[in-house]
Amino acid sequence: MAVIDYKTEAALDLTRDRYGRTAHAGAAEAAQAHRDKAALEAYSIHLAPHADALLDTARRALDELPPARHLTGWRSVLDGLAAAATEIRRALDRPAATGSPAERTQRSALWPHLTAWVDYSVIASNLADQRDGQHHKAPLTGDEQQRWTERAQAAQRRGELELTESWYAADGQPVTLAYLVEDDDSTVVALCGDPGAPGWQVIGHYAHEYEAGKVLPAPVPPGVLRPDVSRFNRPVPAPEVSLQELIRDTVEAQQAGDASNALLSATQRGYDAGPMVRLQELLQTGGQFASALETAQGRQIGARLSALGRQLEFLTREVEEAAEDLGATVAVLPPHRTPVLRARPRPAVDTTPPAPPPRANTPARHR
């Protein structure tokens, strides 16, 4: 599906103008119809024979997991995948006439159900892979855990606890791998809890990461920032003008109003927002992501990004006011700012080329 989507996006790019608007509607519809057909064929060949068995296995594994915050959401995902599989099976059992408009409509209606499997079947697959021994096989004794935790905390204060990887276990506990550096020697340790806040503990130490991966709880699929977002069902991008183009518009302007319009385009709000407003949206979304990590460092970074977003909002208003003042000057560039021709006329064939300028006598430099 990723390959199908990539090829479709490449085809759709050819149907858009410089601002991202669809300029060739017929070609765009043909590319989407080809996408819908290829996706349905891929599902029917590779997944349809196994969908029910996969969901049954995933549900049994889900019932055996210890209570955790994410299990209710996962159960809803499995129910949604089952509903999507039912809709797809109904269409496969009763296909519309080949080559008819009804066939194209039927396949287009199945696209959201097909992409649901692409986006969320990783949860079902992960549950189906759950097996005995997913929990920590070699827990430390109480004294060992306290001793290793104190060593890791001391290394963290020295700046010698290098975090390398983080994931969540099936019980909802965060696990982080780190290198504990002591006297030019390093040991792989596994931490449970938030390494940026008090209360985390070392739950194991290993010779290398491969050994740690064999005995630590297996990772489960990470969450999403917004539950209704899919990379395969992105909204049509709004037309936008790049900063490079606005810079060129300003360089090529001769009247104050033209330069003012370029600046105002950068601060424009709404559907076709300008680059400065889009950057503010990016900072806001990045802050939401950092806060959603639910870690101490994530909350701090989220607060920083939110503050930067407020500063950018103030800057955007200042640029907007300056642009309006520039437009109100009703002025043009003075004529002494003359252009320079890029292409100079070549001399006639029988014309003697001008003598080169004399070279200045400069003393040689010695090392």
The DSSP H or E segment spanning 191 is: strand 185-192
Asked if 168 and 161 count as a contact pair (C-beta separation under 8 A), the reply is no
The DSSP H or E segment spanning 190 is: strand 185-192
**42 by DSSP, 3-state: which?**
helix
Categorise residue 307: left if φ over 0, alpha if ψ from -120 to 50, beta otherwise: alpha
Strand partners for 206? 188
Asked if 175 and 184 count as a contact pair (C-beta separation under 8 A), the reply is no
Say how far apart CA 192 and CA 98 lie, in whole Å. Answer: 56
Angle at 231 between CA 227 and CA 233, to 5 degrees: 85
Query: Residue 356 phi/psi, 5° resolution?
Result: -65, 155
Place of tokens 């709000």: 269
Q: Kindly state the greatest CA–CA separation across the chain.
A: 98
Say how far apart CA 17 and CA 12 lie, in whole Å. Answer: 10
Query: DSSP letter string over 116-137?
Result: HHHHHHHHHHHHHH--TT-S-S
Instruction: Classify each residue of 256-271 as buried b or exposed e, where b means 16 or more C-beta atoms within 10 Å of its C-beta.
Output: bbebbbbbbbbbbeee
pLDDT tens string, the chain, 367 residues long: the values are 889 989 998 998 899 888 778 889 899 999 999 999 999 999 999 999 999 999 999 999 999 999 999 999 999 999 999 999 999 999 999 999 988 999 999 999 999 999 999 999 999 999 998 754 455 565 788 899 999 999 999 999 999 999 999 999 999 999 999 999 998 889 999 999 999 999 999 999 999 999 998 889 999 999 999 998 888 888 877 888 899 999 999 999 999 999 999 999 999 999 889 999 999 999 999 999 999 999 999 999 999 999 999 999 999 999 999 999 999 999 999 999 999 887 777 766 666 666 776 665 555 444 3
Place of tokens 């049509």: 236
Query: DSSP letter string over 235-270?
Result: PPPPP---HHHHHHHHHH--BHHHHHHHHHHHT--S
| Alpha helix segments (H runs only) across the chain | 2-13, 25-46, 51-64, 71-93, 101-129, 142-158, 209-215, 243-252, 256-266, 275-292, 296-328
Query: Residue 54 phi/psi, 5° resolution?
Result: -60, -45
